[in-house]
């Protein structure tokens, strides 16, 4: 899928469709999934219809579906880049440098 070209709403629909298909594949009703996840049934309905839910509710639903390990595929642990490692001589980076501003020119 070309996620960068998709709207946020379209991505929410894809996530909802996939969550719903996973639920159906496991033969779990929306009510049972909601109970297992500790959320209201409307949360599962909103997720599956692409209307979204909170991040905490999504984590609860993924846990109830046994899919929490899929987060590593979704957002892998980045680790430092080889260039950063060389610059830091093996030390761990503590903060981002941010954008550097040009120094003010005296007299302007």
Domains of the chain from N-terminus onward: 3-74 (1.10.260.40)
Q: What is the pLDDT of residue 75?
A: 85
21-55 pLDDT tens trace: 999 999 999 999 999 999 999 999 999 999 999 99
Q: Does residue 59 carry a pLDDT above 90?
A: yes
Nearest of 63, 68, 67 to residue 37 by alpha carbon: 63
69-90 pLDDT tens trace: 998 888 888 877 777 777 766 5
Q: How far apart are CA 51 and CA 58, in angstroms?
A: 12
Q: Helices marked H in the chain — which ranges?
A: 8-25, 30-37, 41-48, 55-65, 71-74, 82-88
Listed in sequence order, the residues at least 6 apart from 13 whose beta carbon sits closer than 8 Å to its beta carbon are 49, 50
Compute, in degrees rounded to 10, the torsion defined by CA atoms 31, 32, 35, 39: -50
């Amino acid at each position: 899928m070309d996620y960068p070209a998709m709207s946020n709403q379209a991505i929410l629909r894809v996530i909802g469709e996939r969550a719903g298909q996973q639920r159906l594949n496991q033969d779990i009703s929306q009510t049972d999934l909601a109970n297992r996840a500790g959320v209201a049934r409307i949360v599962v309905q909103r997720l599956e219809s692409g209307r979204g839910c909170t991040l905490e509710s999504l984590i609860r639903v993924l846990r109830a579906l046994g899919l929490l390990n899929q987060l590593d595929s979704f957002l892998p642990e980045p680790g430092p880049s080889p260039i950063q490692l060389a610059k830091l001589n093996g030390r761990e980076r503590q903060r981002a440098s941010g954008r550097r501003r040009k120094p003010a020119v005296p007299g302007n």
